């Protein structure tokens, strides 16, 4: 009759020798296998016609990974002394204020999430119109380059016209611009003309295309839809096929640069599949 092992007996059992040698690589391999299992399960749901649930599961997994990524970055930033942390650029400050507006955070919550003080957020809000402190990526009130060019050309051909007269002429064309802005543009240096290209092209091979549909360019590329292709084990890459990625065939007209059509494949297409897709594109473009 066998006696049952107690908790004390289990604690006395020795662990295998050198069991911790490859434990970290084992964890990475396990996570890589789990990722492949998730992709396979998502593929099964889509094939069964349950695409909405497959999308929900993918978004939930993506959200969990993004939260973990932000937690790691926040922990690193939190270990740095507040006075030694890098300052946010004016563009990043504006992005923080925009995120605060859309999320409805108060100043304390905004400061906590971005590792600044409440006084800093308050100062940003008070000086939101100060370009030296807070600004957008591109000036929202900047006029197109064509207006700058037109004002400088008008002044070149009609030097007697003043800034008010030029602003009045532009207003008749539907361009509302103030005299002070006209004066500022006039004070700017004219845009530099592009340097002429050299006529000596050497022996570069050129593609000749004299009219639309004379010459087409075709290219095959992979479009990842579930992150990258890397795994923890050799050859350190998983298969390049659906549901990891799509294979896309793009066909562009060399003369007009117009996208003719495209074809999508679940795995790397064979030469017969590519020629069949090209034949269907040519038939559709006739």
Domain ranges, ordered by start, for the chain: 26-78, 82-126, 145-187, 216-285
Q: Find out whether 277 and 263 touch, Cβ atoms under 8 Å.
A: yes
Give the closest residue to 253 by CA, choosing from 211, 209, 214, 216: 216
Q: Please state, rounded to an integer, the average pLDDT across all residues of the chain.
A: 83
Where residue 202 falls among pLDDT bands split at 50, 70, 90? low
State percent of the chain over pLDDT 70: 88
Give the closest residue to 93 by CA, choosing from 68, 67, 129: 129
Q: Give me the pLDDT at residue 1, please.
A: 44
pLDDT tens, 239-260? 788 888 889 999 998 888 888 8
Q: Provide the CA 271 distance to its chain's centre, in angstroms.
A: 32
Q: Give me the pLDDT at residue 101, please.
A: 86
Where residue 7 falls among pLDDT bands split at 50, 70, 90? low
Mean pLDDT of all residues in 85-93: 89
Kindly report the number of other CB atoms within 10 A of residue 65's CB atom.
Answer: 11
Q: Give me the pLDDT at residue 71, please.
A: 92
Mean pLDDT of all residues in 113-142: 82
Q: Which residues pair with 246 in a beta bridge?
A: 223
State pTM to two decimals.
0.52
Where residue 52 falls among pLDDT bands split at 50, 70, 90? very high
Cα-based distances in Å from 175 to 37, 131, 160, 162? 59, 25, 21, 17
Q: Does the pLDDT value for residue 169 go beyond 90?
A: no
Q: Provide the CA 120 distance to its chain's centre, in angstroms.
A: 29
Q: Give me the pLDDT at residue 203, please.
A: 61
Where residue 196 falls among pLDDT bands split at 50, 70, 90? low
Q: Does the pLDDT value for residue 68 go beyond 90?
A: yes
Top-ranked range on mean pLDDT: pick from 8-17, 18-27, 228-237: 18-27
pLDDT tens, 203-230? 666 777 888 888 888 999 888 887 777 7
Q: Does the pLDDT value for residue 164 go beyond 70?
A: yes
Give the closest residue to 215 by CA, choosing from 188, 251, 187: 251
């Amino acid at each position: 009759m066998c006696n049952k092992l107690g908790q004390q007996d289990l604690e006395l059992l020795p662990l295998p020798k050198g069991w911790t040698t490859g434990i970290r690589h084992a964890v990475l391999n396990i996570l890589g296998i789990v990722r492949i299992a998730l992709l396979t399960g998502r593929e099964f749901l889509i094939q069964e016609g349950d695409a909405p649930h497959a999308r929900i599961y993918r978004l939930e997994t993506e959200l969990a990974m993004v939260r973990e990524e932000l937690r790691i970055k926040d922990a690193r930033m939190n270990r740095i002394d507040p006075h030694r942390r890098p300052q946010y650029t004016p563009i990043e400050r504006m992005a923080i204020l925009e995120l605060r507006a859309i999320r409805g955070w108060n100043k304390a919550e905004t400061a906590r999430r971005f590792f600044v003080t409440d006084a800093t957020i308050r100062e940003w809000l008070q000086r939101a119109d100060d370009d030296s402190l807070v600004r957008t990526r591109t000036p929202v009130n900047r006029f197109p380059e064509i207006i700058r060019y037109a004002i400088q050309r008008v002044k070149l051909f009609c030097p007697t016209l003043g800034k008010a007269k030029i602003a009045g002429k532009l207003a008749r064309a539907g361009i509302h611009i103030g005299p002070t802005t006209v004066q500022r543009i006039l004070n700017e240096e004219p845009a530099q003309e592009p340097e002429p290209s050299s006529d000596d092209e050497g022996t570069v091979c050129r593609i000749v295309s004299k009219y639309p549909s004379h010459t087409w360019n075709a290219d095959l590329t992979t479009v990842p839809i579930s992150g990258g292709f890397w795994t923890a084990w050799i050859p350190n890459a998983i298969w390049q096929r659906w549901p990891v990625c799509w294979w896309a065939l793009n066909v562009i007209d060399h003369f007009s640069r117009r996208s003719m059509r495209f074809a999508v494949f679940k795995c790397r297409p064979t030469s017969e599949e590519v020629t069949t897709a090209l034949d269907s594109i040519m038939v559709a473009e006739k």
